[in-house]
Structure 1
């Protein structure tokens, strides 16, 4: 039995990805801050017949994140697929408000780096050695498309962090060539569940499964935004989970 760990699991994309992989026979480890939210996702998966574990942790608390991943491995076995898609909570935005490009400060960037880039590095480095040893594994890391494929100056401090994360994953994809381990970045230019067909969680989850199954592309861009998106200043609505 294979296991997917969904870090940043929420009631939209995280739940849909969990259900899609469960349909393929995967056990599911759910990791995020809020135990209540995780339990609701787990309850939704009860009809799949797969094993589902709830492991609360804040990705900015590195020891807690490592402990959650270790607990998932102990209960469900080695993590074969890691999906990392953290989404900021209201407390995050109070601590590090979204900042326009001309107003970026060091402090405005540091908290975003902590959430996106450093949390992602910690999660990947926990599972990567085991994947390399086994010669198989998948790492899928998600962010808003302002990380590179699009320009989103309204939230520049976030994009500095997610841009670094995207660059790292693209380099990781290249570095892992020939190892049996696959890494890809998913750039989400959509209001999840609020637009057309491509923005629906189930459609997006199918795309994540194809990335894992086909193991070729370094990046997938999911685009379902209105043409006047940037003109209306809606970049702060990028959502990951």
Structure 2
């Protein structure tokens, strides 16, 4: 079986998605900055009978991200599914008039250089398999910029453009690239935006391979 690689492993959406893909037999590579968190998540998945391993990397450090993905593929098997969904830092979300050019360096590195690095790391393996899925998860500011969250609005829009171009370029190679927009907060009690509901939606996107952008729920007016 092939590997599901998750960049941005955490106890909410990340764990739920890892559990969903692991339940159908994929090995799971969890990638995060925090080794202690990876140990806890790996233990939970292992307790569910899922083969999982954690790999430490920072989305802002291309070398560490590439190294983690290559090691994951070498250790667990070829990466068929990549999910890029790390949580943006709070300091990315300044009001637009308080946001300088330098303030955009980290958000753009996080949402553009990180995805480009990750895709280049896994694409040769997907091509060798003859198939693959790349899943991007973004907040509503990716499609509707928010003046109080300038960094993520600019960076998510750029990530969306990159993902859309990938969708078109890789479709002939049976590699499906898709984006799931989550307009509001991810909450355990939310009907459509709970971790489990979103995990099911992401698995459905992978399985059905239908279109580029989907919404967890409609954007608020």
TM-score range, shorter chain: over 0.9
Residues 86, 116 of structure 1: 8 Å contact kept = no
Residues 163, 179 of structure 2: 8 Å contact kept = yes
For 1:79-94, what aligned pairs fall within 5 Å after superposition?
Answer: 79-88=79-88, 92-93=89-90
Paired with 2:218 and 2:21, the residues of 1 have a C-alpha distance of 23
- The residue matched to 2:93 in structure 1 has which SS? coil
Match of 1:183 in 2: 177
Paired with 2:201 and 2:40, the residues of 1 have a C-alpha distance of 23
What TM-score results when the alignment is normalised by the length of structure 1?
0.87
Which runs of 5 or more residues in structure 2 are unaligned? none
Match of 2:116 in 1: 121
Paired with 1:196 and 1:161, the residues of 2 have a C-alpha distance of 26
For residues 123-181 of structure 1, the C-alpha deviation after alignment (integer angstroms, 9 at most, x for no partner) is: 11110122123210000011112111x33221012111111001110111111122111
Paired with 2:74 and 2:193, the residues of 1 have a C-alpha distance of 35
For 1:1-241, what aligned pairs fall within 5 Å after superposition?
Answer: 1-88=1-88, 92-93=89-90, 96-148=91-143, 150-193=144-187, 196-223=190-217
Residue 194 of structure 1, CA deviation? 5.3
What TM-score results when the alignment is normalised by the length of structure 2?
0.94
**Stretches of 4+ moved more than 2 A in 1?**
101-104
- Call closer, same or farther: CA 1:49–1:216 in 2, change over 3 Å: same
Residue 195 of structure 1, CA deviation? 5.1
For residues 84-137 of structure 1, the C-alpha deviation after alignment (integer angstroms, 9 at most, x for no partner) is: 11113xxx44xx452212333111111101111111110111101221232100
- Call closer, same or farther: CA 1:194–1:206 in 2, change over 3 Å: closer
Paired with 1:97 and 1:179, the residues of 2 have a C-alpha distance of 35
Residue 186 of structure 1, CA deviation? 1.4
Residue 196 of structure 1, CA deviation? 2.1
Residues 29, 54 of structure 2: 8 Å contact kept = yes
Q: Which stretch has the larger CA shift, 133-142 or 98-107?
A: 98-107
Residues 185, 218 of structure 1: 8 Å contact kept = yes
Paired with 1:60 and 1:72, the residues of 2 have a C-alpha distance of 18
- Call closer, same or farther: CA 1:220–1:26 in 2, change over 3 Å: same
Paired with 1:2 and 1:220, the residues of 2 have a C-alpha distance of 25
